Amino acid sequence: MPSAPIYLSPPDVGPAEEVAVLRALRSGWATPFGPEVDAFEQEVSQRVGVPYALALNSGTAALHLGLLCCGVRPADVVLVPTVTFVATANAVLYSGATPVFVDCDPATGNVDVELLGEVVADLRRAGRRIGAVMPVDMFGSCVDYDPLLALCREAELPVVEDSAEALGSTYRGRHAGSFGDAGVFSFSHNKMITTTGGGMLLSHDADLIARARHRANQARIPAQHHEHDQMGFNYRLSNVLAAIGRAQLSRLDEMTARRRRLREHYSKLFASVDGVEVLAENDPGSNCWLTVIVVDPQLTGWHAADLARHLAQADIETRPAWKPMHRQPLFAAAEARLTGAADQLFARGLTLPSGSSLDERQIDRLTGEIHGFVDQHA
């Protein structure tokens, strides 16, 4: 009997989520607001240690509102790491501003903070208005926030933290999502927890979240009739999906532990293979969302893509690390400050199955396939 495919990061849902959906439906709140939404906001807010939170129908919506409510305007530039998912940069486009891309630290894939400082100085010298800086906590590893926040405070730049991948991660004892003027989580199907699609915007600033809440609900003013004072958006999260989110959040620690065990498993597996490193391996605060290996073909004698092909034949899904934004057709004409690190990570990186729902049998099969490939090439 052929075995079932192994996916990169499939949703991990079960009885707790079923119970939650029924509870929400039977309560009558099949609505984009309601008690499950309120409770989900409170629970995430408490978990992350940020007092105000707004549940939304995607992480991308949260990024968009975060930028708008931090005062980003058309004609601004916004600094975005070139290694990220396109949503970060698309949110900048939605706001009418222009992204300027910055290369990464090769050890983590996160933005190169020193280079970011140079770009800020150069843009300022050229008289450009920088609307915001968007650090992205890549693959669940926090950006080096001490220098980044010092830099942004000094330059008086708002920070919108894209923590879509980093729920549960920490940096020096503080939670991902708590570092910026606004922080963003995604609850897309492949993230740490899922609502099948959803996101959240968090802030230490009550007024910022109030303004974002207004915009997310078509900028509707309380009145008997429909009255609107701004361009608004239909960005609210369904109460039924918020219930799924609460069940998922209650399982976050357990699910994170399973991803961490997988990361440790990969670390051991590749420890003896010269030329293979696990990205951000030494970050104790990572939630281990996805494990990325970086393959130096000069030392291994094989490329990341060769392993990917081998695993694909065994119905095991892998993916290259994010294709840098400066290589996307969408951003062919965009400004970018590059060192070559992002290009190298794209050429050499491979994202391995990292889901919290992988069972022992799947992990054994995966391990066998990787051993087989490595031995064959030794």
Interacting residues toward ligand PLP by CB under 6 A: 58-60, 84-85, 87-88, 136, 162, 164-165, 186, 188, 199
- The strand pair at 291-295 and 349-352 is best described as antiparallel
Identity of the residue, 98 or 195, whose beta carbon is nearer to ligand PLP in the bound complex: 195
Identity of the residue, 40 or 302, whose beta carbon is nearer to ligand PLP in the bound complex: 40
- Nearest of 217, 199, 371, 378 to residue 302 by alpha carbon: 378
Identity of the residue, 186 or 239, whose beta carbon is nearer to ligand PLP in the bound complex: 186
The one-letter amino acid code at 37 reads V
In whole angstroms, how close is the CB of 26 to ligand PLP at the nearest point? 27
Identity of the residue, 188 or 318, whose beta carbon is nearer to ligand PLP in the bound complex: 188
**In angstroms, rounded to a whole number, what is the distance separating the alpha carbons of residues 287 and 311?**
24
In whole angstroms, how close is the CB of 124 to ligand PLP at the nearest point? 26
List of residues 6+ apart from 170 with CB closer than 8 A = 142, 176, 285
In whole angstroms, how close is the CB of 93 to ligand PLP at the nearest point? 13
Q: Are 134 and 111 in contact (CB under 8 A)?
A: no
- Nearest of 294, 307, 377, 308 to residue 341 by alpha carbon: 294
Identity of the residue, 85 or 331, whose beta carbon is nearer to ligand PLP in the bound complex: 85
Residue positions counted in the chain: 378
| Sign of the CA dihedral with 143 first, then 149, 154, and 159 last | positive
- The strand pair at 77-81 and 291-295 is best described as unpaired
In whole angstroms, how close is the CB of 191 to ligand PLP at the nearest point? 6
In whole angstroms, how close is the CB of 186 to ligand PLP at the nearest point? 3
**In angstroms, rounded to a whole number, what is the distance separating the alpha carbons of residues 35 and 196?**
19
In whole angstroms, how close is the CB of 87 to ligand PLP at the nearest point? 4
